[in-house]
Structure 1
Amino acid sequence: MERKEMDTALAGEPSVVAPGGGWAAQPGAIETAQACALVVYLRTRVETAAPRTATEGTRPLLMGEDPMDRMRQLLKEREPFYLKAHTQLDTERKTAEEVAREVVRLAQSSAGW
């Protein structure tokens, strides 16, 4: 379902789309997106990401387990796919607003927005 939604989003007007981490790990997903979009890996440490996601309570893959251990496992499996992105943005010490501004700057300089 997520892959289909991403395909629809990529076919539309230029926009910022933030899919779940599992989307990027689907074979061919990154490559398909790269053909028509700027793909940015928003990189952060598990120790930083875990508290950010803990308040959401909507991440089924993190339910019922130690979220930090599960996130480490998922990152180990998925990071090879994430590293295929056009560029990476270290979000470790940035606010959401700072990350958003940087994504816009990258899009403007790389994709001509």
Structure 2
Amino acid sequence: MTQPAGLQIDGHLVLVGLPGSGKSTVGRAVAKRLSRPFLDFDAEIEKREGISVSRIFAERGEAVFRGLEFALTQELAAAPPMVLAPGGGWVTIPGAMALLRPPGRIIHLHISPKEALRRLTRSRIVRPLLAQADPAMAMQSLWDRRSGLYALADVTVNVEAVDSQRLIDSVVALAHDGTLGIG
């Protein structure tokens, strides 16, 4: 059912995509425009665990980290509507997406592996899954494993084809009436 103009959907907006797709940056801006809280899963998990995501991966393994993401997702399922930015691998957790929709909307911020790596290299953000001898191959591998799961999102937006302000405007429009303003 389409919402009347001006009425926000009553669920979370969940931004998914490869590392470097802009989930946190776009999410913060969209949350501000919607007057909703924003939650970056990595930052929240680091705060709760008292160590970095990189250390969680190194010391406890990816499975433990995904378990922490799933527990946070379960907790958020009953929370008031927010803009959420889970880690890029959140989509690989069985049942995670189903916990938040409906009424939540999942938006895939699509970016090519090459551009994602370029952005991450430029930002100098340490990503545990990319700390390998061949980061380009690692990023391509992430895409190969996750692309089918990203395709399950309610909407896909190519972030390389749209400037950041138009992307933010479009995600805000989706929150209001269920459509994207990208032509």
Q: TM-score normalized by structure 1? A: 0.85
Question: What is the CA–CA distance in structure 2 between the aligned matches of 1:65 and 1:16, rounded to whole Å?
Answer: 34
2:114 to 39, 47, 67: 47
Give the number of equivalent residue pairs. Answer: 111
> Does the 8 Å contact 2:77/2:100 carry over to 1?
yes
- Structure 2: any 5+ residue segments left out of the alignment? 1-67
Query: Partner amino acid for 1:28?
Result: G
Aligned to 2:172, the other structure's residue is in SS state: helix
Q: Do residues 81 (structure 1) and 81 (structure 2) align?
A: no
Partner of residue 94, structure 2: 27
* CA deviation after TM superposition for structure 1 residue 51, in Å: 1.6
TM-superposition CA deviations, 1:7-35 (whole Å, max 9, x none): 22332121110111111111122222223
The structure-2 alpha-carbon separation of the partners of 1:101 and 1:28, relative to structure 1 and needing over 3 Å to count, comes to same
- Report % sequence identity: 29
1:5 to 72, 75, 89: 72
- Structure 1: any 5+ residue segments left out of the alignment? none
Question: What is the CA–CA distance in structure 2 between the aligned matches of 1:24 and 1:91, rounded to whole Å?
Answer: 18
Aligned to 1:39, the other structure's residue is in SS state: strand
Query: Partner amino acid for 2:173?
Result: R
TM-superposition CA deviations, 1:67-98 (whole Å, max 9, x none): 22111101111111111111111111334443
Q: Do residues 64 (structure 1) and 132 (structure 2) align?
A: yes
Question: What is the CA–CA distance in structure 2 between the aligned matches of 1:29 and 1:65, rounded to whole Å?
Answer: 31
Question: What is the CA–CA distance in structure 2 between the aligned matches of 1:104 and 1:9, rounded to whole Å?
Answer: 20
Root-mean-square deviation (CA, aligned residues, Å) is 1.8
**Structure with a larger share of its residues in helix:** 1
